[in-house]
Amino acid sequence: MSAALPLSAALLSLLTATPKAPVRAEAPRASAGPSFQVAERLIGAALTEGHAYTRLAELTDGVGQRLSGSEGGEAAVAWAKKAFEADGVTVRLEPVKVPHWVRGEGRGRVLASERTRGHALALLALGGSVGTPEGGLTAEVIEVRSLEEVAALGDKAKGKVVFFNHDMAQPQDYGRAAGLRTRGASAAAKVGAVGMLIRSLSTASLRTPHTGAMSYDESAPRIPAAAVSVEDAELLHRLLAGGPVKVELVLGCQTLPDADSFNVVAEVKGREKPREVVLLAAHLDSWDVGTGAHDDGAGVVMVMETARLLAKLERAPRRTVRVVLYANEENGLRGGRAYAEAHAAELGEHVAALEMDGGGGKPLGVVFRAGAGARELLTPWMKPLEALGADTFLPGDASGADISPLIPARVPFVGLRVDASRYFDVHHSEADTLDKVDPKDLAHSTAALAWLSYVLAEVPGVLARPEAPASPKP
């Protein structure tokens, strides 16, 4: 399938149309802000050149898996730096110490009994898990559906593998289920369990397990933890309904000493207010399964392509657009914290931050986390997004894991929301590969991001800063 797309007459007419008037205000003159001729250039190039999809192929098929601390992670940094340089975008590397976890061997099975001849389990160790004892572990399984249910087990959990079942079926269920994945192993260990399994956090499955990060509570023993496919979770549930079930688990996970890595930081310098920064974020790392096409290769190439297109303009935007490809979002957030610490003195001049980490779906609209007046500031410049289906202000707040350390500095957040309805079908699994990303959807979201980023960098005013976060209760 060709990645280049035709520029429609409808889009051209929209780009040259009169901008929408802001609420309770007159439409500004073109000289007072972004040029709609620039919209035509940015959106037209993003839709017709196919550069984002070509670059995504380089990252996924070329570099491949890129977990923090791995050779793939190191190769991704070198690839990104070289690509920015080829685009004529100023780039530098900012050092970050990252965790180095290695998956190793992973297998499991339901042992034979009077009721079954046994079954192999499709599973993946959770990121950060310890390995099983030499030779693996064998134990009876006990099923739960919440952390509270685990705590209530008492002695019933001793020597067993706690299996977290849940009912995630839609993307909005992810946050609730992710808490089980993150904290479940320690909750199980506190009541004497020797292992933990969890149903994959997925909205679809063809017996494809989904990994993800977990963490250990220092007050509890560290026990091995893995995700089983949706189908195998259902199998365990059915078998447990008929009586005791034993499993054998073998996980060869290791945590090695922290490794050296980098945030890749690129800039298109502002012509008038270079100290004011519009930050575009995506994370360069991926899990060590699949090739991270949606998570977060799509976000990476969208922000890179935005920088390339802005750098080609004869007249740079008023403010600096800074692209940061963060290290270690998946299993530590070290890159996000390192950036906030290294740039603490200038965060007061970060006028907007926008993170792309929702996959390569089509654009749907814009969200904010800012003070009053955000909608009024941007409304006059939304018209070019209409043909892309992204000219709507959506409910909810803009957010992002890597930009979350900027919240104490009250940096305004803007979000370009994309269609993530199928994102969790492949998220954190072997199936997150290039073929799952539609070139047209990726091009449309890239076009929307390029224009939105230009607007934030070019409008005369800036977004009001949000309220200071509430102080934690003592």
**How do strand 319-326 and strand 254-268 relate by DSSP bridges?**
antiparallel
Sign of CA dihedral 366, 338, 75, 290: negative
What is the DSSP annotation of 430-463?
Answer: TT-SGGGS-HHHHHHHHHHHHHHHHHHHHSSS-P
What is the DSSP annotation of 375-410?
Answer: HHHHGGG-GGGGGGT---EEEEE---TTTGGGGGGT
Q: Of 428, 358, 360, nearest to 205 (Cα)?
A: 428
Catalytic residue among 40, 143, 305, 329: 329
Calpha distance 37→296 (Å, rounded) = 31
**Phi and psi for 321 in degrees, rounded to 5?**
-105, 120
Active site residue 329: yes
| DSSP label at residue 88 | T
Distances 253 to 223, 224, 291, 332 between C-alpha atoms, Å:
11, 9, 20, 17
Query: Across the strands, what pairs with 125?
Result: 226
Q: Of 242, 463, 200, nearest to 353 (Cα)?
A: 463
| DSSP label at residue 297 | I
In this structure, are residues 362 and 356 in contact, taking their beta carbons and an 8 Å threshold?
Answer: no
Q: Of 8, 448, 16, 73, nearest to 291 (Cα)?
A: 73
Query: Across the strands, what pairs with 254?
Result: 102
Number of other CB atoms surrounding residue 63 within 10 Å? 23
What is the DSSP annotation of 202-241?
Answer: -S--SS--B--B----TTS----EEEE-HHHHHHHHHHHH
In this structure, are residues 168 and 135 in contact, taking their beta carbons and an 8 Å threshold?
Answer: no
Distances 46 to 4, 40, 442 between C-alpha atoms, Å:
9, 10, 9
Residue type at 331 in one-letter notation: N
Cite the active site residues. 329
